Structure 1
Amino acid sequence: MTETVYINGEYLAKENAKISIFDRGFIFGDGVYEVVPILNGRMADRQYFLDRLRISLDKLQINFCFSDADLISILNKLIKINRLKEGIVYLQITRGIAERDFIFPNDTTPSIVAFVMDIPIIDTKDSAEGISVVSTTDLRWKRRDIKSINLLGQCLAKQDAHSRNAKEGWMVEDGYITEGVSSSAYIVKDRRIITRPLSNRILPGVRRRTLLEMQSSEGFEIEERLFTLQEAISADEAFITSATQIVVPVTHLDGRPLGDGTPGAITKKLRQIYINKLIRETCD
């Protein structure tokens, strides 16, 4: 794989990539992003990621004139240039370059940055063995439904989890799990899958959306409701979903095993169902 990035209309070698220090993404974190998985050299669940990108741009009042077709063309070319078969493409759009002022400028052109990463999506150690998760205080702002590039709260939470030898943190607010630091959170109790309902307190995950759409045809049921940390600790099994990990079992929470401490049967089934879907989608 080569290392070419995209910045504002140009495909550049990584070492030549530069952007203005006055970009509002750099100064204020004033922008949004998406991470799209790549399988067989093609974007998976592409339209759902683009839909969420549009929603985030609208909520931040960023005037972005590129069409979905424009973005798809940019990203497909980037994937092809880098000869990427499996991994992710990262896309970031900021409000653009302006004098430092909290008030939105009227005449800026949004900045577009994209790059790819060659990482495994299908066969990973975490998906086979499961991961350990710890609970951590949710320190984020109140518009978590926007996929903002301002991720300091998540960085603090992920660092807390890392310092406690865990792969992921489940953030807790008012006694309830909100979501994972970089994932959506689910527990399984009495064969029922439970996840938090959408609101401004969590990100509308693409994997979450797809699982909800698949539940009737694939014979499983997801209940959308709040669940406490104690409920999670006593769950039969648990898992996370994200763009880069699809479905990954959670085997331990705060040092306690969930079920027998190995990946649960329902989680393994869901992962295989989702992988089969993505393979069909990217091989057509």
Structure 2
Amino acid sequence: MIDQVWLNGEWLAPEIAKISTYDRGFLLGDSCFETLYFNGREIEGKAEHLQLLKKSIEVLKIENVLADDVVFKALEAAETILKEEKITEASVRLTLSRGLGRGAEVLGKPNMVLQMFEIGAGRPFSALKLITSPIRRNETSPLTFIKAGCYGDHLAALRFAKDNGGDEALMLNTKDNVAGLAMGNIVLVHQDEIITPPIKDGVRAGYMRTRVLQQANKQALKVTERSVSIDDILSAKYHIFGLNSLWGVRPVASVDNVRMPIMNAVLLG
């Protein structure tokens, strides 16, 4: 971790930056977050990630949040710090909690934190080995469509995958349709067509998913949003990619020990 933390508008040393044990993010997971990628030159998608954070704030109905321009300037300052430290790759995390309180009672203003973590071995990452998780993505919950702080289901799915010889979990929804990965989105590629599960199936439309689909449209590729079954995945007909802000576009080598065809991640041009 870089030795500076931004807390509620101030840059502090990590040992000085403190949040109360009565914070609702700690007690209840009543929080949301965004993870951004620093590529050695800039933090990618600053404005887009802030819009995603705003969507999460709206879903959670968190009030009295710091203004967008204040947070954007914090991201710009983080960018400067990382460049001055000559960091080549880093994860930048913005976390917002509702503040102090217990149960339905809210006693204080929200807390917002920006942290920076250097990435050791970064892009390109090795191809993923997916294991289908028995834990389902709940497409009836509004929290499914944002990055909420209560990330227990995703972490449990990831642990299941690792315990069974994989390194990432494929998650289905309650109707047996593919919703995504524990830590990202998923796309399937066949010839000149890119297929992605629709939002209604429990997909959180992350930054990298949006970027890939936009780039596909620019390249005149066919983009199809439709429900994807586990049979579609296991047919080994498609080139499959996992997407998130840190990975970028990451190929999938196998699903439930069934080998997948692999192609270069050319989706971003």
Q: Taking structure 1 as reference, are residues 138 and 192 closer, same or farther at Cα in structure 2, changes over 3 Å only? A: farther
Q: CA deviation at 1:64?
A: 3.5
> 1:264 matched to which residue of 2?
263
Matches within 5 A, 1:9-48: 9-48=9-48
Q: Is the 8 A contact 1:134 1:168 kept in 2?
A: yes
Of the three residues 135, 138, 142, the one matched with 2:135 is 138
Q: CA deviation at 1:250?
A: 0.4
Q: Taking structure 1 as reference, are residues 219 and 39 closer, same or farther at Cα in structure 2, changes over 3 Å only? A: same
Q: CA deviation at 1:10?
A: 3.0
Distance 1:40 1:190 in 2: 33
> 1:279 matched to which residue of 2?
none
Distance 1:72 1:81 in 2: 14
Q: CA deviation at 1:252?
A: 0.6
Q: Taking structure 1 as reference, are residues 90 and 23 closer, same or farther at Cα in structure 2, changes over 3 Å only? A: same
Q: How high is the TM-score relative to the length of structure 1?
A: 0.85
> 1:88 matched to which residue of 2?
91
AA of the residue aligned to 1:180? L
- Provide, for residues 162-218 of structure 1, a one-character-per-residue CA deviation record: whole Å limited to 9, x for no partner: 112212111023221111001101122354221111137221111111222222322
Q: Would you say how many aligned residue pairs link Structure 1 and Structure 2?
A: 261
Q: CA deviation at 1:86?
A: 2.2
- Is 2:218 the partner of 1:217? yes
SS at the partner of 1:35? strand
Q: Taking structure 1 as reference, are residues 193 and 200 closer, same or farther at Cα in structure 2, changes over 3 Å only? A: closer
Q: Is the 8 A contact 2:177 2:201 kept in 1?
A: no
Q: CA deviation at 1:85?
A: 4.0
> 1:278 matched to which residue of 2?
none
Runs of 4+ in 1 over 6 A off after TM superposition: none
> 1:115 matched to which residue of 2?
115
Q: CA deviation at 1:244?
A: 0.4
Distance 2:121 2:247 in 1: 6
> 1:76 matched to which residue of 2?
76
> 1:196 matched to which residue of 2?
197
SS at the partner of 1:157? helix
Q: Is the 8 A contact 1:38 1:87 kept in 2?
A: yes
Q: CA deviation at 1:222?
A: 1.8
Moved more, 11-20 or 24-33: 11-20
Of the three residues 244, 247, 259, the one matched with 1:245 is 247
Distance 1:117 1:2 in 2: 6
Q: Is the 8 A contact 2:97 2:110 kept in 1?
A: yes
> 2:232 matched to which residue of 1?
231
Q: Which of the pair is proportionally richer in helix? A: 1
Q: How high is the TM-score relative to the length of structure 2?
A: 0.89
Percent identity, aligned pairs only, is 23
Matches within 5 A, 1:42-57: 42-57=42-57
- Provide, for residues 20-60 of structure 1, a one-character-per-residue CA deviation record: whole Å limited to 9, x for no partner: 01000011100110011112342111111111100110111
Q: Is the 8 A contact 2:208 2:243 kept in 1?
A: yes
Q: CA deviation at 1:79?
A: 3.8
Q: Is the 8 A contact 1:63 1:110 kept in 2?
A: yes
- Is 2:96 the partner of 1:97? no
Q: Taking structure 1 as reference, are residues 200 and 72 closer, same or farther at Cα in structure 2, changes over 3 Å only? A: farther
> 1:184 matched to which residue of 2?
185
Q: Is the 8 A contact 1:134 1:254 kept in 2?
A: yes
Gaps of 5+ in 2: none
Distance 2:60 2:201 in 1: 14
